[in-house]
Amino acid sequence: MKAIRFHEAGGPEVLQYEEVPVPEIGPGEVLVRVHAVGVNPPDWYLREGMKVMPAEMRPALEFPLIPGTDMSGVVEAVAPDVSGFTVGDEVFGMLRFPGFEGRTYAEYVAAPASDLAHKPAVIDHVQAAGAPMAVLTAWQYLIDLGHDVPSPFTGQVHQPVPITPGMTVLVNGAAGGVGHFALQLAKWKGAHVIAVASGRHEQFLHKLGADEIIDYTTTQAADVVSGVDLVIDTVGGPDSRRFLTVLKRGGTMLPVFFAQYDPKETARLGITVSNIQVRSNGPQLAEIARLFDEGKLQVGVDSTYSLSEAGSAHARAAQGHIQGKIVLTVVS
Ligand SMILES: NC(=O)c1ccc[n+]([C@@H]2O[C@H](COP(=O)([O-])OP(=O)(O)OC[C@H]3O[C@@H](n4cnc5c(N)ncnc54)[C@H](OP(=O)(O)O)[C@@H]3O)[C@@H](O)[C@H]2O)c1
């Protein structure tokens, strides 16, 4: 089969389209003919040799590596101990995350059945491949953690704060992969949603149901908003503390990317800060699939590239301003 591999860490140019053996399935696995692959930040973190992590936390990588965690496709073979999936089923999933063994940038993948769900009927493979990591992240932050593993960054187990009708939720990075699902899930739960993004995404965010939109290129949220119940910040970075002042006392700050807060300051403001590392979870994806089928969620597709053009897809990602998801097409 064809797959994308890289033999050394580096820029998008290290991604090579190569001939490799079709993987064999083990216990608990199904072989999936991949139709589309979702591109996520961990794919380029891995390609860059995990430079995003502090040196002491960086894993040793064994090359060559096939990147990728997310995919949508059709079941081709099923291990004898697997129930719930049969040959010909359309499935989607985020495989073996956290970890670097998803190997979805390929024509076939051996997938743990526990990481899969049946693809929603109303969306195609491109949309379904774009969903898993981004939607599971929003789900595990906002709706149901679904595991009791402490965050590797804080050592604490996250407790999602129930979103109730009328609550105000601010989503920073609202047009991106995680952000556009966080916005929709908060709306589904009845929240008033303030979306922060660059102005180019205004129409997209209105379509997804944002009640208010703040263009961060012209307006700072802290200058125009206060009394918010919950902030989910998918951007993070050194100046993320500016969002603390938009929260009411007793509010919650959910940083999705690295962000540092002074515990004395958050205690003084009465704000809880909590984060997670998203984890693979097929049963949660099955619940989420029902929301897609009921028309309560949609996937924004920023752009598509063929599998052989994975390097161009990563180059697109490096330009930023992603609206929804970048997806690789494998079967067209
Ligand atoms: N904790 C976890 O388990 C977990 C899971 C998944 C992802 N993540 C992390 O979460 C982050 C987001 O992931 P993603 O897949 O959603 O990324 P993404 O698709 O690239 O989205 C990022 C979005 O942020 C917007 N943005 C950039 N700078 C901004 C700013 N200063 N203010 C507001 N918006 C800004 C971008 O567009 P505009 O600038 O045009 O608005 C883009 O839409 C990544 O760093 C990823 O590593 C963590």
The Cα–Cα gap between 119 and 289 comes to: 7
Assess whether the C-beta atom of 220 lies below 6 angstroms from ligand 1.
no
List the chain domain ranges: 2-133+280-329, 161-273
- For ligand 1, the distance from its centroid to the CA atom of residue 75, given in whole angstroms, is 31
Q: Which CATH architecture has domain 2-133+280-329?
A: Alpha-Beta Complex (3.90)
Q: What is the pLDDT of residue 5?
A: 98
Which of 185, 218, 235, 314 to mutate for ligand 1's pocket (most ligand atoms within 8 Å of CB)?
235
Q: What is the pLDDT of residue 158?
A: 95
- Closest Cα to atom 9 of ligand 1: 257
Assess whether the C-beta atom of 301 lies below 6 angstroms from ligand 1.
no
Kindly give the confidence (pLDDT) of every residue in the chain, 332 residues in length, as a single tens digit, with 9 standing for 90 and above: 999 999 999 999 999 999 999 999 999 999 999 999 999 999 999 999 999 988 888 889 999 999 999 999 999 999 999 999 999 999 999 999 999 999 999 999 999 999 999 999 999 999 999 999 999 999 999 999 999 999 887 889 999 999 999 999 999 999 999 999 999 999 999 999 999 999 999 999 999 999 999 999 999 999 999 999 999 999 988 888 889 999 999 999 999 998 889 999 999 999 999 999 999 999 999 999 999 999 999 999 999 999 999 999 999 999 999 999 999 999 97
Of 3.40.50.720, 2.40.30.10, 3.30.365.10, 3.90.180.10, the CATH number of 161-273 is 3.40.50.720
